Structure 1
Amino acid sequence: MYQQLVTHNGKFHADDVFASVILTQLFPELSLIRTRDEKITDDENNFVYDVGGGEFDHHGIDDQRQHENGVPMAAFGLIWQKFGETYLKTTMPTITSDLIVKTKAHVEKSFIIGIDALDNGVTTYQSPAFTISDAINDFYDEDHDLESFKSAIAFAKGVLENHIYKTVAKLIAEKEVIEHATFISDELLLLPVVGTWKDYVEHFDKCRFVVMPRKDGNWMIQGVPVSHGSFQVKQPLPQINKPWIIFIHRTGFMGVVDTQEHALSLAKSLIDNSLL
Structure 2
Amino acid sequence: MAHKIGTHNGHFHCDEALACFMLKKLPEYSDSEIVRTRDTATLNKCNIVVDVGGVYDHHKMRYDHHQREFKDTMKSLDILPKFTTKLSSAGLVYAHYGRRVIGVILGVSNEDPCLDVLFEKVYESFIEEVDAGDNGIPPFDGTPRYHVSTTLAARVGHLNPPWNDEHKNYDEGFKKAVELVGTELTDRVKYYYKSWLPAREVVLKALNERFEVDEGGKVLMFADGGAPWKEHFFQLEEDLELQDERITYVTYPDDSGMWRIQAIPVNKLQGFESRLPLPEKWRGVRDADLEAVCGISGATFCHASGFIGGNKTREGALSMARKSLELAGQ
Structure-2-length-normalised TM-score: 0.76
| Aligned counterpart, 1:114 | 129
Which of 172, 186, 200 is equivalent to 1:161? 186
The equivalent residue for 2:72 is 65
Distance 1:125 1:35, change over 3 A: farther
Q: Deviations over 1:104-154 (max 9, x none)?
A: 111111221111111112224686322221111110127111100011111
* Matched position secondary structure for 1:78: helix
Q: State yes or no: 1:211 paired with 2:251.
A: yes
Contact kept? 1:2, 1:47, Cα under 8 Å:
no
Cα-to-partner distance string for 1:167-208 (whole Å, 9 max, x where unaligned): 222111122321343322243222234423212433344122
CA contact (8 A) 1:8 1:34 kept: yes
Q: For 2:35 and 2:113, how far apart are their aligned partners in 1? A: 35
Q: Which amino acid aligns with 2:115?
A: I
2:228 partner amino acid: T
CA RMSD of aligned residues (A): 2.2
- 8 Å CA contact retained: 1:174, 1:197: yes
- Report what 2:103 is aligned to: 89
Asked if 1:191 is matched to 2:222, the reply is yes
* 1:192–1:213 contact (8 Å) kept in structure 2: yes
Q: Find the aligned partners of 1:29 and 1:155 in 2 and give their Cα distance.
A: 19
- Provide, for residues 22-47 of structure 1, a one-character-per-residue CA deviation record: whole Å limited to 9, x for no partner: 1222222111121101011122x432
Deviation at 1:54, TM superposition (A): 4.2
2:124 pairs with 1:123: no
Equivalent AA in structure 2 for residue 23 of structure 1: L
> Counterparts in 2 of 1:1-276, with a 5 A limit?
3-26=3-26, 27-43=29-45, 45-52=46-53, 53-55=55-57, 56-68=63-75, 69-94=83-108, 97-124=112-139, 128-130=147-149, 131-141=151-161, 143-168=168-193, 169-181=195-207, 182-183=209-210, 184=214, 185-194=216-225, 195-202=227-234, 203=237, 204-205=242-243, 206-231=246-271, 232-237=273-278, 238-239=282-283, 240=285, 241-242=290-291, 244-273=298-327
Please give the secondary structure, in 2, of the residue aligned with 1:97. coil
Gapped regions of structure 2 (runs ≥ 5): 58-62, 76-82, 163-167, 292-296
CA distance in 1, matches of 2:140, 2:303: 30
1:40 touches 1:46 (CA, 8 Å); kept in 2?
no
The AA in structure 2 aligned to 1:111 is F
Number of aligned residue pairs: 273
The list of structure 1 runs, each at least 4 consecutive aligned residues, that deviate by more than 4 angstroms after superposition, is none
Please list every run of 5 or more consecutive structure 1 residues that lacks an aligned counterpart in the other structure. Answer: none
Give the distance between the partners of 2:49 and 2:322, measured in 1 at CA.
60
CA–CA separation in structure 2 for the residues paired with 1:176 and 1:189: 11
